[in-house]
Structures are given as structure tokens and as C-alpha cells.
Structure 1
Amino acid sequence: METKDKLFAYQIYFTLGALFIASLVVSNLIFQKFFYWDFFGIYRFEISVGILPYPITFLITDIISEVYGKKKANQVVTSGIFASIFSLLIVYVANNAPAIETSPVNNVVFSTVFGQTALAVLASMLAYLAAQYIDIYIFHFWKNVTKGKMLWVRNNFSTFTSQFVDTFAVLFLLCSFEIISWDLFTNLLISGFLFKVLIAILDTPFLYLAVYYFQKRFNLARGEELNLD
């Protein structure tokens, strides 16, 4: 690969990594607000707004896995862990800093919104670790089985499995930490998993477009990965 192409490939890799980390950190910060979505009268989703940016992380890791390989995908996942821990430290310091009397957001409001972030981030990171590494492993397992063909199979099989693990694990931990009630567990599990499955199906064309672009841009054969080392 020419130096110019390699630099461009790195730029895209770092951009995807930045989007991945931003989506992950934001999902941990906004999780306490819940909303509903009436899906054409077929099903009423009741989910946390924290779930909205989260499927983006799985799409990005699938793109990186397909184009850059398993090692680079795992590197992005590891970077996300450190970013989550760092954001947790910032929130902890901010929560313990005393607000002045004229502050638009006082101590009580700030603690109500961010006070449980530490446990939430811990729960999310534990679930996230398991889910993301499972996603990457299954993705490459099916890539080897299909010999680089049938991209939709490895994309959806890996995402469906990992998203169920993530949804179950994070809700189990949040209920165990008494951040949310156990009465909500089953409904949130079903809604969360079905929502992620729906998004995974909808994002498949975007994965195909991204992979097609990379194959054309860097003259890659089907299933071939960029080597940035």
C-alpha cells in the first residue's frame, strides 16, 4: 500500500474510533431518561435514551472488523474502556465540586442526573466488554466459515448474539445495584433487545456500503483486510 493510501486508511480508522468512543461515553451519561416508541402500532418500545447511540458502536466494530481486522477492532474496544473510565473520573470530580449559589444547576439536580453514573458506567462497561468481544469473535468466526462471503450473515449473527448479552448483562447489573427496579427487567430486556435487533437489520445496508467503498478505494478482494502494521 502506498504511503498516501495508508495515511488515508489511518485517518478513517481514527475517525471511526472517535465516533465509537463518543457514542459509548454519551450512552453512559444519558441512560437515566426513558422513553417509548410506538412502532407502527405493532409494538411499544420502552427503552433508555442511552440505547440510541449504542448500536452505532456495533456497526463501527463490524466495519473495522471487516476492513481492518480483528486486532484493530479489539484496539478500538479497549480504547472505549479507557475513555469510559476517564469520563467516570471527570463526572465523579464534578459531582463532588460544590456548586455556587447562583449556579444554574445546583448540587441536588446534578447529583440526581449524574450521581448514579459511576455504577451505571461500571455495569455498562462489564456488559460492554463481554458483548463487544463476543461480537468481534462471532463476526470473524462466520467470516472464516463463509470464506469472506455473505457479509449480512456475520453482521447480523454477531450483532444479535452480542446485543442480547449486552442488554441482559447491563439490566441485570443495574437491577442488582438497585439503580432500576427488578419489576422493569423483563419489559426493558425485551424492548431493548428487539430495538437493537431492528437497528442491526436496518444498519446492514450501511455496512455493505462502507465495505464496498473500502474495497473499491483500496482495491481489496472480498474478505481481504487492510494491513496497517
Structure 2
Amino acid sequence: MTRAHIPGILAMAAIVVASNILVQFLFGQWLTWGAFTYPFAFLVTDLMNRIYGAQAARKVVLAGFIVGIICSLIGTRIVGEFGPLVTLRIALGSGLAFLLAQLLDVSIFSALREGRWWRAPLLSTLVGSSVDTALFFTVAFSASLVWLEPSNDVGWANEVLPLLGTGPAAPLWMSLALADWMVKLSLALIALIPFRLISERFKATQVSR
């Protein structure tokens, strides 16, 4: 790690901490406020990859993963109305989803980095976000994985309801996952703007030196 990587590490840490806090607060029926902050982790990873390369991006991912573990450990110690704020399944799903999705993002970005400027950040984020959502919600709430934490009652998340209130019948957690995924995809498009501005500004700074 070099001093140049510190801003990326701090940004990733701030996003992970903020998301772990904001996930406790609902936004509408299907989302939490954390759904709007967490996707920017992909922006940080992609900027580090574009500016400093894949190795630097992986270091930032590792830093975010460690911060996430710390947040999960703290969450398991805080007991809310319905038990610990973070269960074993949520901690496991969160950690696995973050690490695998972010590392996949780094690999895809690196493979596409020589193409059009938007292709690498957009496609790597879309694939990474999809894997992140699918893995987290499946591990954390699917009834088929109840053996991971038998003492954790996830019956509420498996109540069969219309998908997003209007679609075919599906477990509640699938509506939560779909809503989360849609936010990630929307923010992946929006994040192209700061990605372009920041990467171009860094390039101009390097040329002027």
C-alpha cells in the first residue's frame, strides 16, 4: 500500500460503515437507506482500478472487507427488538457477497479496460452488483439454507407474497433482492458521471506534472 491508495481505502471504509448503519433504516416497503450508499463501493473499486491498476483495487477491496467484518462483529453484539442486529447468516452473506462481487468487478474491469471508457466500469459493476445481490439475499434469507443458522428464524423473509406487491407469488426476500438489484443497476449508470470526471481529472493532473 502507498500513500496514493489511502483516499480510496478511506472512501471504501466510509461507504461500508455508512451502509452498515443505514441498512437499519427502512426506505419504503422494500428497501433500506443502505441500498443507496453501498453501490458506490463499486465506483471506488473501479476508480482505483482505472487510476492505479488491479492490484491497488484489490487492496482497497480487502480493506473494505476487513471493515465489513468489524461492523458485523459489532452488530452481533447489539441487541435490538427482535434480537441481534446482525445474525450469523447476514454476516456470512454480507462478507461473501462483498468479497466475491468486488473481486469479480476487478477482474472484469481489468479485462475490458482497453475498450471504450464506459464499458469496463459499467459491465463490471453490473455483473458484480448482480452477484452481490443474489449471493447476499440467498445466504442471509433463503429457507433452503436454514441449516447455516438453525436458531435464526427467517420465516418472515420467506412469507409468500406478490413480487414487489404486484408480480407473481414469491418469498418476501426475493422482492427485497429485486428492489435492491434495481437500485444497484440505476446507480451503476449514475456512477459513470463521477467515474468519468474523476478519472479524467486525475489524467489531466498527471499530464501537467
TM range (shorter): 0.7 to 0.9
Structural mapping, 1:145-224, within 5 Å: 147=114, 149-176=115-142, 178=154, 181-182=157-158, 183-219=171-207
User: Cα gap change, 1:24/1:114 in structure 2, threshold over 3 Å: closer, same or farther?
Assistant: farther
User: Cα gap change, 1:142/1:80 in structure 2, threshold over 3 Å: closer, same or farther?
Assistant: same
TM-score by length of 1: 0.72
Tell me the distance in 2 between the aligned counterparts of 1:62 and 1:205.
13
Give the letter aligned to residue 87 of structure 1. Answer: C
Give the letter aligned to residue 172 of structure 1. Answer: T
2:72 maps to 1:88: yes
Tell me the distance in 1 between the aligned counterparts of 2:102 and 2:156.
23
2:61 to 65, 72, 77: 77
Stretches of 4+ moved more than 6 A in 1? none
Native 8 Å contact 2:75 2:85 kept in 1: no
Quote how far apart the aligned CAs of 1:86 are: 2.3
User: Cα gap change, 1:85/1:51 in structure 2, threshold over 3 Å: closer, same or farther?
Assistant: same
Match of 2:107 in 1: 137
Tell me the distance in 2 between the aligned counterparts of 1:129 and 1:210.
24
User: Cα gap change, 1:138/1:113 in structure 2, threshold over 3 Å: closer, same or farther?
Assistant: farther
Q: How many residues align?
A: 184
Native 8 Å contact 1:64 1:73 kept in 2: yes
Q: Which of the pair has more CA radius of gyration? A: 1
TM-score by length of 2: 0.79
Quote how far apart the aligned CAs of 1:180 are: 5.5
Tell me the distance in 1 between the aligned counterparts of 2:203 and 2:54.
17
Match of 1:112 in 2: 81
Quote how far apart the aligned CAs of 1:31 are: 1.9
Quote how far apart the aligned CAs of 1:179 are: 8.0
Give the letter aligned to residue 165 of structure 1. Answer: V
Give the unaligned 5+ runs of structure 2: 147-153, 159-170
Native 8 Å contact 2:102 2:128 kept in 1: yes
Tell me the distance in 1 between the aligned counterparts of 2:86 and 2:178.
23
1:15 to 7, 21, 43: 7
Give the letter aligned to residue 150 of structure 1. Answer: R
Native 8 Å contact 1:156 1:200 kept in 2: yes
Match of 1:35 in 2: 27
User: Cα gap change, 1:139/1:31 in structure 2, threshold over 3 Å: closer, same or farther?
Assistant: same
1:66 to 32, 50, 53: 50
User: Cα gap change, 1:57/1:162 in structure 2, threshold over 3 Å: closer, same or farther?
Assistant: same
Match of 2:151 in 1: none
User: Cα gap change, 1:82/1:113 in structure 2, threshold over 3 Å: closer, same or farther?
Assistant: farther
User: Cα gap change, 1:90/1:74 in structure 2, threshold over 3 Å: closer, same or farther?
Assistant: same
